[in-house]
Every structure is written in structure tokens, then in C-alpha cells.
Amino acid sequence: MSDRNRERRPNGDGSISQPRPGDGAIVLRVTAPDGRRRKRVVHRKEETPSQHRRRAERILREFAAEITANPAPVERWTVQRWAIERYLPSLVESRKPNTVASYRKVLETVVAPHVGSIALDRLTVDDVDMLDGTLAARGLSLVTRRHARGLLGRIVRHAKSKRIVPYDVTGDADRLAKDDRDRTKGTLQPEQVHAVLTAAKGTPWEPHLALLGLLGLRRGELLGLSWEAVDLDAATLRVERNMVTLPGGVAHLGTPKTKGSRRALRLSARLVAVLRQHRARQAALALAAGPDWSGTMGDDEGVTVSLVFTDEAGRPMPGHRLNDALERIATAAGVGHVNPHRFRHSAASLMIAEGMDLAAVGAVLGHASPAMTMSVYAHAIERTKAAATDSIAAAVGDW
């Protein structure tokens, strides 16, 4: 009903409309303390228009007094409740399951214990700064603190988009330190990679470690590799899927981390030979297992593929088994602690040291852009630049 058909009254007294065409009913509206408009309809009985009007006015006064005396409870969303009931469910269609699982883990372990019980509309900049200070006092790394701040900001901005809070208080919080870690610290030298691969030679883990060490694959990309994406005759390999383990130990085969993660890589003659041997070994295991062999898995798009790396029964290879095997073999080779991510960084650092173009390095690694490669491997690039200038100086000599 338009405003011109509604009689204006002082704030708090509500409004009363003109009789509706047709049934002659009068609509009453009162603004509740929580800001919501409440409505009641007074239908005409066997009475004159003036009697109907007077009755509607009496009901309006009673209606306004009732709402003032018994306001509806204001729904109070805490940071944790909003995150669990509204924010995380909103990501199901737009984020990968492992991303949602990682957000939930950060929420449960570092955000909720400190600010989870605070009402969203009462969260302050001081609360945000306090979160970082508390985490720092606990000795948590800058990376963890940045993850906590980032998640809290996403939760608040989501609530802002739903008009639960008027603005994003995390935007006014103190800036955290820049993440300038040397992610290449502790990367392996060529002779160390050689030692690990030599120790793995002839074992069931040789193809896993060879692809990690020479192609710089992510662990999930390695475990999600399918035979349909490998062409041994053409000596090529396509990274098309990513294997992750969801809470509860459930394996999930999905698309890669980013669009740039989808890529085709060239296989060396040695890698082709290793994969041929692995395929023959896997075929023998499948034959021995008979009907108990699985070997295939459906991805999140409903496509069923044959996995390159499985356990002895053809099931998806658990990531922790790969980690344990690499740790054991690297220790036996005298290299010490090595995990798949360190192997990936080693491959990248070696490519940079060999003078490969940053765009080419990023393409091999599956980075979204050369800027990502630059930010992650800035320290390795600086070392290479220093070595280059030193070599020029040595070649020219003193004068």
C-alpha cells in the first residue's frame, strides 16, 4: 500500500491505512524495537465506516503497546556461530572441499578459542588486534596469524554483505608483518636429490619420488595423477586433478589448486622408463588381487579414471604413506628430513639456478602467474643474481 494511503503518526505510534478497495480492511503497521515492521489487518464487520475506523485505532494502540512491552528477541550472531552456520556453508558451491576444511580447521584451532564467542555486531578493532597479540604470545608463526586474520576478515565481510554488521572492522586493525620467509631455505642440492633417487631405485617408491624431485609436482597432484593423463609414447604428462584427504580420512579427487595448475609437462627418457616399470608392477598387483583390486576413482565432476599411484589393493594412496616413505628413504640416503613440499621447492630452486626463465619455472610448477613465482622464490632469484655478478667479476678479473 502506498504511503499516501497510510496515515502518518508520531514515531512509535504506528500507522493506519485507508480502507482497502474491495474488502474495506484497514492495515496497521508498527515498528518494533528491533527495527522490524510488524503488520496487522483489521477486517470490517457489521459496522459503519466510522465505527470500523475507531475500532482500528483502538487495536493499533493495543498493538503498539503489546510490541513495546514484549519486543521480539534480537537474534545475536557470534563470530563462531555465523562462521559455522552461515559463512562456511556458503562456500560449498564456490570453494573446493579441502579449502573449506582448511578454513574450518583454522576457525576451530586459532580463531574461535579467542574471539568465537564475541557477538559479530560487538566485535571491535581491539578484538582483532588482541587476536594477533594472543597468537603471537603463544608462539604461533606469522603464517598462522595471517591465516587467522584472513579468515576472520572473510567471516566479517560475509556478515556485512548480509547486513548483519555495518562495516568490516578487520580493515582498521593493525597491519601484520610482511610474509618474507625464505621458502627455499633448506632446499636440496642436485647431489642430494640424486642421493635420494638412488636410494629409492628399484623400490615401489621410485616413481613417486622421481616425479616429485624432477617435475616439482605438488603431493596432491602426484596422488591424483591418472593413466589417462600420461602418454608414455609421447613422453608427456598432464596435471588435471588433485587428490586431497578430507576430515575423517576420506580421499577426494578434484580439480587442481588453480587454473594455472592445469599443465602439460615433458617427461625425460628416465622418467618414461620408470613409469613403464611402475605400470607393469601395478598390473601384476592387480592380477594378484583379482576382484579385490580397485584402481579407479571418480572425480568431483563424475569422471572415473585409473590412478597411477595406489596402495596394494588399488585404493587411493594415503598422503601420509608417501611422506613416511620419503622421510625414510632420504634419511637412509644421508640427506635428513625431507617432505614432498621440500622436494618441490628443491626442483624449483634447481631450475632457477640453471637459468630457466621465471615464466617457464612458474609454468612447470603450475603457478597462477610469474608474480607468484617471483614472490615465492625471491630469495633463490637473489642468490642466482649474486652468483651471476660474481661470475662476471671473476671472468673480468682485477684491473
Distance CA 290, CA 344 (A): 36
On the question of pLDDT at 391 being above 60, the answer is no
Report, as an integer, the average pLDDT of 286-308: 92
Judge whether 374 lies within some domain: no
Distance CA 216, CA 366 (A): 9
pLDDT cut 70: percent of the chain above it = 84
pLDDT at position 70:
73
Do 207 and 300 share a domain, yes or no? yes
**What is the chain's mean pLDDT, rounded?**
84
The residue segments making up the domain with residue 198 are 193-336
On the question of pLDDT at 263 being above 60, the answer is yes
Last residue of a domain, one of 69, 94, 123: 69
pLDDT at position 389:
46
Per-position DSSP letters for 230-284, written without gaps between them: EETTTTEEEE--EEEEETTTEEEEE--SSGGG-EEEEPPHHHHHHHHHHHHHHHH
- Work out the pLDDT band at 144, boundaries 50, 70, 90: very high
On the question of pLDDT at 383 being above 70, the answer is no
**Total tally of structural domains belonging to the chain:** 3
Last residue of a domain, one of 12, 35, 69: 69
Do 217 and 158 share a domain, yes or no? no
pLDDT at position 6:
52
- pLDDT tens track for 228-244: 999 999 999 999 999 98
Judge whether 354 lies within some domain: no
Do 16 and 51 share a domain, yes or no? yes
- Work out the pLDDT band at 9, boundaries 50, 70, 90: low
Do 65 and 128 share a domain, yes or no? no
Burial of 224 per CB tally in 10 Å (0-12, 13-18, 19+): buried
Lowest mean pLDDT among 22-36, 159-173, 325-339, 355-369: 355-369
Do 94 and 211 share a domain, yes or no? no
CB 136 within 8 A of CB 173: no
Judge whether 104 lies within some domain: yes
Last residue of a domain, one of 26, 46, 69: 69
Which CATH number does the domain housing residue 155 bear?
1.10.150.130
Judge whether 263 lies within some domain: yes
Do 208 and 332 share a domain, yes or no? yes
Lowest mean pLDDT among 52-56, 61-65, 113-117, 317-321: 61-65
Lowest mean pLDDT among 16-30, 61-75, 288-302, 307-321: 61-75
Do 158 and 198 share a domain, yes or no? no
Judge whether 61 lies within some domain: yes
pTM comes to: 0.63
Judge whether 36 lies within some domain: yes
Report, as an integer, the average pLDDT of 301-323: 93
On the question of pLDDT at 12 being above 60, the answer is no
Do 109 and 236 share a domain, yes or no? no
pLDDT cut 90: percent of the chain above it = 50
Alpha helices (H) in the chain, listed in sequence order: 49-69, 79-82, 88-90, 97-106, 112-115, 125-137, 142-161, 190-200, 206-215, 219-223, 269-289, 319-332, 340-353, 358-365, 370-376, 378-396
Judge whether 276 lies within some domain: yes
Do 85 and 112 share a domain, yes or no? yes
Do 88 and 63 share a domain, yes or no? no
Give strand pairing partners of 387. Answer: none
pLDDT at position 392:
47
Distance CA 334, CA 331 (A): 5
- Say which residue, 312 or 365, is predicted with more confidence: 312
Which CATH number does the domain housing residue 208 bear?
1.10.443.10
Do 30 and 131 share a domain, yes or no? no
Query: 37: part of which helix (H) or strand (E)?
Result: strand 37-42
